[in-house]
Amino acid sequence: MFFCIPRWVAVVACLFFFISCALCASQGLEGRVKRSSPLKQSLTYIWPLPAEFSSGEETLSVDPRLSLTVDGNGGGSAIIGAAFERYKGIVFKNGGKFSSLLRKLREKISVYDVSKLKITVHSANVELQLGVDESYTLIVPKAGEVTIEANTVYGALRGLETFSQLCTFDYTTKTVKIHNAPYSIKDKPRFAYRGLLVDTSRHYLPVDVMKQIIESMSYAKLNVLHWHIIDEQSFPLEVPTYPNLWKGSYTKWERYTVEDAYEIVNFAKMRGINVMAEVDVPGHAESWGAGYPELWPSPSCREPLDVSKKFTFDVIQGLLTDLRKIFPFELFHLGGDEVNTDCWSKTSHVKKWLQDHNMTTKDAYQYFVLEAQKIAISQKWTPVNWEETFNTFPSKLHPETVVHNWLGAGVCPKAVAKGFKCIFSNQGVWYLDHLDVPWYVVYNAEPLEGIRDASQQKLVLGGEVCMWGETADASNVLQTIWPRAAAAAERLWSPRGPTSKSVNTTALHRLQNFRCILNRRGVPAAPVTNFYARTAPTGPGSCYEQ
């Protein structure tokens, strides 16, 4: 006597057999991989490192059907819903690479340790400004529901990023795992301002590239995009009140419409990133005169802008009024750096104006900066200026001025001693266009260097790395930014103590891992250890060892 087995039962049995074999084989394979892996089991591979955390020794599987439940006044925000779907796509990116039949079978026979994520957000306020609460608590238990709790949606975003970094894809079992569970993480940023400057004047960056930069910033928990939109080389931004200004763009195809700017700002907000615009005056402004030549002191003297004409300040007023409708962030950058005033003294009508007003060219520089500050303040912006303004006339600056350091060390200590707020961007360590500055120099920089008084330390808002665009465009900007920007990001987010020892044996391995995370997420981050930033690998090798 014999029994006839239905074909579908045989198929299911075979699939079950193959899956079981794969699962069994993976246990031995995992052991071999661990011995050859450059990842060190003693390190916690979260970047930037959380303020407080503990971990265990368990390995958990994560359900590809991971569900979200929300709680609190802000849990239902569209920002949370969109972020969950975004991160689910990142975590389970590899999940659709096997047949639908096999996937369905696996879902039926598998029991996952983690199948639910609960996000609690206490505040319904989604306003994004400097100092918004980005703290969060993330709990990954041995089994059951993972929880993220935050006061604001932006804290929840940071928690989701951390959760995503805990999840790794196991290529043998084709499942997502969380190693070293359970986790208890209480996290918050060290500094409120953690920025990246992007220069779109020296080379135009398309909107999609700007979005890629913003997306990559969120992975490192940076929270301010300093958009250096215009400079002497080009004026790519539409200004409705003065529509000829963008005649200063390189071509009519390398421009940002008002709608483009709105799109960039809103895209950034959904990721917890403010956009601080910069209009650099009175220097670095030659491109303004392509549309309005009267802004030039003369055809042979094209910058600084003409300090003697009311029209110059009318244009600045109209420009800032238009930009206020686009950029809600409380800070606005007015530049003020590298102003060579010789041209003013050599132009007859400007020279006469100086004489009539009993001004030297230095006085006129001060006058121009202070007038621009008044206009920005009238638009309810807090003015930010490069350090030359502070170095030249500190007692005249508006008391709310934020001094932006760039020339070298020692400026922030002087600025906060006089009661000004400061942003740290020392060019020797945090200028990304300086390709010979290695990752560990970026990492070891300290925004509070030379400031011991606690009340003065609070005046240092944070810092930013600067991606000046003379030699960077859409072809190489991301690999120039990353991974060195991540080194600064951890300095700005994580407590100084745990991240200041043995950087070559601790931070290096974690940064190499983060660089590989960026690569897997589509960010073309360059090797960490190459002497010149953004250069390609010199030969074969693992992502984790470059």
Q: Which two tokens stand for residue 151?
A: 């006061």
Query: Per the structure block, which two tokens stand in for 136?
Result: 């969060």
Which residue is associated with the tokens 């490069």?
A: 386
Sign of the alpha-carbon dihedral angle for 49, 54, 56, 60: negative
DSSP tag of 4: P
Helix (H, G, I), strand (E, B) or coil at 140: strand
Structure letter (DSSP) for residue 293: G
Q: Are 56 and 180 in contact (CB under 8 A)?
A: yes
The one catalytic residue among 30, 58, 145, 338: 338
Q: Which of 511, 466, 509 is nearest to 490 (CA)?
A: 511
Let me know the angle formed at the C-alpha of 390 by 385 and 393, rounded to the nearest 5 degrees.
120
Preceding amide of 498 cis, omega within 30? no
Establish whether 161 is a catalytic residue.
no
Helix (H) or strand (E) holding 520: helix 507-520
- Alpha-carbon gap, residue 227 to 188, rounded angstroms: 25
Token digits for 41?
């089991």
Nearest partner of 249 among 190, 208, 290, judged by Cα: 290
Residue 70 host element (H or E): strand 58-71
Q: How far, in Å, are 55, 181, 196, 540 from residue 464 at the CA level?
A: 31, 33, 5, 33
- Separation between Cα atoms, residue 132 and residue 153, nearest integer Å: 10
Catalytic residue list: 338
